[in-house]
Every structure is written in C-alpha cells, then in structure tokens.
Amino acid sequence: MDAGFVVFAGLTVISASAAMSLRNLVHCALCLTVTFAGLAALYLKLNAQFVGLAQILVYIGAVAILIVFAILLTRSDEQTLRATILSPAWWVGVLVGVAVFCALAAAICSSALAKRPAVPPTPVTVENIGDKLMTTYILPLEVIGLLLTAAMIGAVIIAMQERRSR
Amino acid sequence: MNPLHGYLLLAALLFSIGLAGAVTRRNAILVLVGIELMLNAANLNFIAFWRYGPSPEALSGIMFVIFSIGVAAAEAAVGLALIIAIYRHYRTVNVDQVNSMKG
C-alpha cells in the first residue's frame, strides 16, 4: 500500500462518485473522464502498460467523447432531476449500493486468495501481447473485429432510422 | 494489508458506486455511465488478479481486459445510438417517462 496507489485510488473514487451525483451532465462527463484517467494510472502501476494506454485511447478518447456528444444532442429536464435526489427511491438505490459493497468487502477480507505474498512484476512487452493475440487468441481477435464492425453499422442504422422513415 | 486487497476493495467500491448510480439516476445517459463504471471495476479486478496471480507470464488477465475494452466500446456506441433514437421519439431521456413499448 504505497502513496501512489492511495492518491490514484482516492482520485478515482472521488471522481466516480462525483460523476454519479452531480446535477450538471457536462460536469458528470468531465468527472467520468478523470475516473478513466485514474484507472489508466492504476493499470500503469500494475505493470500493464498496454492496457493502461488502451484505456486512455478507448475510454478517454472515444467513450467520453461519445457521452459528451449524447449529452449535447439530448436535453435533460433539471426540474425532475432535482426532485429525484434525496427521494425514497434514491435512498433505496444508495442502500443497495452500500449493501453490495459490504458483501463484496466481507468476501474479499475473508478470502485466503488475497493473503498470498507479493511477487515481483514480470516484464510484459507489446511483442509478447501481439504474439499471443496472433497465436492463442486469434479466434477471439477475429470475433471482436466482427463485433465492432457489426456494432458500428448497427449504431449508425439505429441513430439514422427516424430520418430515413420520413 | 496486501496490495491485492487494496485493488480488490477499490474495484468493489467502484462497482458499488456504478451500481448505485445506475439504479438512482433517471437520465439514461448516466445509467449508461454507471454501467461503464461497473465494467471498469471488473477490468481492474482482472488486471489485479493477473499481476498478483500465480502465472503472470500467461497474460490471460491482459488478454481478457483487451477484449473486454473492445466489447465495452461497442456497447457504448450502440447504447448511445439507442438513447439518441429514444430521444428523437419521446423527446426525453428520462427513463421513468419511457414506459411504453408501442410508443
């Protein structure tokens, strides 16, 4: 448990809770971006450089921008939002979240898996990852390519449907 | 306290925040943001278990997270396209007001 972990974990948790509780949607999107950046830093700390940089590219570069676009293209009514916070349904939702965290934390703290001694990090190069992707994981790689193509075509068709039918 | 403990607890906390947000917020975009947070918490678990697991040279955690990020990107694109289609139809993104399948 070092200082870097505490700083990045605190940043991630605080910005995640801000993203889920702020009223202004643009502020929520900005806080979400900070959460993704904190997670990318944690991946880098865990010696998974490729995943950390992929997180920055995909989440900060694409998903956050998509969410900002969706916020700008839609209009939310602040009046109803103000009424839902601190309502009974809101308390029930928060209670469910706290209960889930307590259950997970109890399971983690009582598990023998986490009591293993720390091992030195193994060096991982992009060459290793590419090698694995092209040999062992070639079928999942092809499937994910197909899935992304289908998702891209599907997203365009779903978003354009209304205009085409008129 | 073990470093793996810290990462697992952080992932559990992130998952709970995402779950509470997805359940409580009424804006469909923020429900999607909550789901993204839960997916990211799962990814953090994969990486933490890979780093402190018995055989890190197999790279299985990294591979799973790479594919998981790909699936999450597809999910976000389709989800936001659906939200925009719903907004065009109902003129709202409040999930409480989108309550009929016929429209």
Contact A42, A19 (CB under 8 A): no
Cα gap B50→B57, rounded to integer Å: 9
Q: What average pLDDT does the segment A86-114 reach?
A: 88
Cα gap B43→B73, rounded to integer Å: 13
Asked if residue A162 has pLDDT above 80, the reply is: no
Q: Which residue of A has its CA nearest to B3?
A: A1
Same-domain pairing of A43 and A113: yes
Same-domain pairing of A133 and A110: no
Same-domain pairing of A56 and A96: yes
Residue A155's domain spans which residues? Answer: 125-166
Q: What part of A 49-78 touches B (C-beta under 8 Å)?
A: 50-51, 54-55, 58-59, 62-63, 66-67, 69-71, 73-77
Same-domain pairing of A33 and A66: yes
8 Å CB contact of A66 and B80: yes
Q: What is the pLDDT of residues B43-78, one digit of tens each?
A: 999 999 998 888 788 889 999 999 999 999 999 999
Q: How many CB pairs under 8 A join A and B?
A: 233
Structure tokens at B49: 């278990």
8 Å CB contact of A105 and B12: yes
ipTM of the complex: 0.92
Looking at CATH, the fold of the domain delimited by B3-90 is given as Helix Hairpins (1.10.287)
Radius of gyration in angstroms for the set of CA atoms belonging to chain A, rounded to a whole number: 21
8 Å CB contact of A16 and B19: no
Please indicate whether residue A101 or residue A74 has the higher confidence score (pLDDT). Answer: A101
B103 to chain A, closest Cα gap in Å:
13
Contact list, B76 vs chain A (CB under 8 Å) = 62-63, 66-67
Asked if residue A79 has pLDDT above 60, the reply is: no
CATH number of the CATH domain containing A17: 1.20.120.1200
Contact list, B61 vs chain A (CB under 8 Å) = 48
Q: How many CA atoms lie within 13 A of B97 on its CB side?
A: 15
Asked if residue B40 has pLDDT above 90, the reply is: yes
Residues pairing with B94 in the sheet: B27
Cα gap A117→A119, rounded to integer Å: 6
Q: Which residue of A has its CA nearest to B90?
A: A74
8 Å CB contact of B52 and A21: no
Q: What average pLDDT does the segment A125-139 reach?
A: 91
Same-domain pairing of A71 and A143: no
Nearest C-alpha neighbor of B52 from the set A132, A113, A53, A38: A113
8 Å CB contact of B16 and A144: no
8 Å CB contact of A42 and B16: no
Instruction: Give one DSSP letter per residue of chain A, joined into a string.
Output: --HHHHHHHHHHHHHHHHHHH-SSHHHHHHHHHHHHHHHHHHHHHTT-HHHHHHHIIIIIIIIHHHHHHHHHHS---HHHHHHHTTSHHHHHHHHHHHHHHHHHHHHHHH-SGGGSPP-PPPP--HHHHHHHHHTTTHHHHHHHHHHHHHHHHHHHHHHHHHHHH-
8 Å CB contact of A128 and B59: yes
pLDDT of residue A35: 96
Same-domain pairing of A58 and A131: no
Same-domain pairing of A67 and A149: no
Same-domain pairing of A16 and A62: yes
Same-domain pairing of A71 and A145: no
Tell which of A24, A50, A55, A67 to mutate to test the B interface (max B CBs under 10 Å): A67
Asked if residue B90 has pLDDT above 90, the reply is: no
Say which range, A6-20, A66-80, B71-85, has the weakest mean pLDDT: A66-80
Count structural domains, chain A. 2
Contact B41, A118 (CB under 8 A): no
Cα gap A141→A86, rounded to integer Å: 45
Q: What is the pLDDT of residues A21-61, one digit of tens each?
A: 888 899 999 999 999 999 999 999 998 999 999 999 999 99
Of the candidates B12, B48, B82, the beta carbon closest to that of A101 is on B12
Q: What are phi and psi of B101, to 5 degrees?
A: -85, -20
Q: What is the pLDDT of residues B14-27, one digit of tens each?
A: 999 999 999 998 88
Contact B30, A31 (CB under 8 A): no
Contact B33, A32 (CB under 8 A): yes
